[in-house]
Amino acid sequence: MSIPENKHKFETRTIHAGSAPDPSTGARNTPIYQTTAFTFDNTDHAASLFNLQNFGFIYGRLGNPTVSVLEERMANLENGRAAVACSTGHAAQLLALHPLMEPGDKVLASRNLYGGSITQFSHAFKKFGWDVDFVDATNTNNIKKILNNKHKCIFIESLSNPSGVILDIEKIALIANNAKIPLIVDNTMASPYLFKPFEWGADIITHSLTKFVGGHGNSMGGIVIESGKFNWFQSDKYPSMTKPTESYHGLIFAETFGDFGYSMKIRADSLRDLGSTLSPTNAFYFINGLETLHLRMERHCKNALKVAKFLDAHEKVSWVSYAGLKKNKYHNLSKKYMNKGVGPVFTFGLKEGHEAGKKIINKVKIFSHVANVGDTRSLILHPASTTHNQLSTDQKIAAGAGPEVVRLSIGIEHHDDLIKDLKYALTNI
């Protein structure tokens, strides 16, 4: 008797979920379907696809068999209902909000977001007529104080980049639920191996697949995953989901497609019109990256803890922000939410400040100086002069990217070599 796919262990699902040998060729790996368009059986078949009366592939902007395997696998690993992949993590955030927001609406977001996300929310989204209120979500009372009827969702990161903040997501989910708005969690930095937002009350998950899902720094992509549990009809806040859609002859997405109506809305409406499509080649790389996600994350976390302990004891380091350290203020929350590890990305501060932060980067040999995280290689960055450079000084400090901060993304090399590399650099700044 075969075991249902969703009952397999996580490690097995990273390899098998959503895929099967190619029916026409027997190819065991998912092929790259490098095609723009797909043939229709006849005119009636074409019409039924365009009217969303039948499922199938129409045009590369809307879907692709290679991309579909990735979407099914990611939804499975996050214990979600459905998913839509796209070109980047930033595109995923735009697509996640598009069905929810109308001009004049607001997002309530944690202030501890990736610097690029803060810029996207603060500036780019304003051109859509969307506004944002950033809040210190480490104290959930701050959320309660500011939350109002204009807010269409709460947006947080499960593990903040780069400061390593872990929020009490269960409490925040309860606030969102009481307000009848979805909680969106960017789970990029934790990955589905370390943390499952849906198990703690989240409604929507986004990922930059570019990071740990791909894992090798060779592809860019994003994804939006829905739990299928949010009740769109409990209020009148979301007309895009609960009212007739003119471009589909009055179809009501939440009614017609039920617990995957949100994903269908994104695919058939948002992705169709915004065009942030994921290439099948990049989807292929992500599918293959997922097969070793659990192995890589175990090694990433093991290495990161050893490096963090070394830095924490070094005379030139004033602090280390890593929840894996017992003295870290988020350590207890890490035990509640991420008992397999808290990821390999963290920051530390140098006593000599901004200039020392830049100098150490010029002294390392193994660490690569790049604006990325989640690679097999260990990476180093000075956020204040790079990823967070567009923010004000106050915003940098609030986001955990002050002038003395250095960000590390620990790879899967041997930890002794990484420690020696940092020791040499610290000695010579």
Min mean pLDDT across 57-61, 221-225, 354-358 is at: 354-358
pLDDT at position 111, please? Answer: 94
Residue 53 above 50 pLDDT? yes
5-289 has which fold? Aspartate Aminotransferase; domain 2 (3.40.640)
CATH number of 294-427: 3.90.1150.10
What's the pLDDT at 5? 59
Tell me how far apart the alpha carbons of residues 312 and 18 are, in angstroms, rounded to a whole number. Answer: 43
Which pLDDT score is estimated for 13?
A: 97
For the chain, the average pLDDT equals: 94
From CA 21, how far away is CA 68, in angstroms rounded?
Answer: 14
Reduced to 3 states (helix: H, G, I; strand: E, B; else coil), residue 262 is helix
Dihedral sign, Cα of residue 415, residue 419, residue 420, residue 422: positive
Asked if pLDDT for residue 399 goes beyond 80, the answer is no
Q: Do 52 and 260 contact (CB within 8 A), yes or no?
A: no
Taking only the tens place, the pLDDT of each residue in 98-139 is 999 999 999 999 999 998 899 999 999 999 999 999 999 999
Asked if the domains at 5-289 and 294-427 fall in one CATH topology, the answer is no
**Residue 232 in contact with residue 238, Cβ under 8 Å?**
yes
Tell me what the mean pLDDT of segment 21-45 comes to. Answer: 94
Quote the pLDDT of residue 1.
33
The tokens of 323 are what?
A: 């929840």
- 281 contacts 87 by C-beta, under 8 angstroms: no
Question: According to the model, what pLDDT value does residue 6 have?
Answer: 65
Once rounded to an integer, what is the mean pLDDT over residues 388-404?
79
Domain ranges of the chain: 5-289, 294-427
Average pLDDT over residues 300-328: 97
- Helix pair angle (354-363, 415-427), 10° resolution: 130
What mean pLDDT is predicted for residues 252-273?
Answer: 97
**pLDDT(170) > 60:** yes
The continuous run of DSSP H or E covering 256 comes out as helix 253-256
Q: Which pLDDT score, from 0 to 100, does residue 207 have?
A: 98
- Which of 168, 117, 177, 161 minimizes the C-alpha distance to 140? 168
**Residue 391 pLDDT exceeds 80:** no
Whether pLDDT at 7 is above 90: no
Q: What is the mean pLDDT of residues 347-353?
A: 91
Inform me whether the pLDDT recorded for 341 exceeds 90.
Answer: yes
Q: How far apart are CA 378 and CA 411, in angstroms?
A: 4
- Residue 286: predicted pLDDT: 98
pLDDT of 295 above 50: yes
- DSSP code at position 151: E
Predicted confidence (pLDDT) at residue 79 exceeds the cutoff of 80: yes
Tokens of 337: 């939410």
Cβ atoms 109, 135 nearer than 8 A: yes
Distance, in Å, from the CA atom of 154 to the CA atom of 86, rounded to the nearest integer, reads 21
The band of 394, judged by pLDDT with boundaries at 50, 70 and 90, is confident
Q: Is 76 exposed, middle or buried (0-12, 13-18, 19+ CB in 10 A)?
A: buried
Task: Classify strands 106-110 and 82-86 as parallel, antiparallel or unpaired.
Answer: unpaired
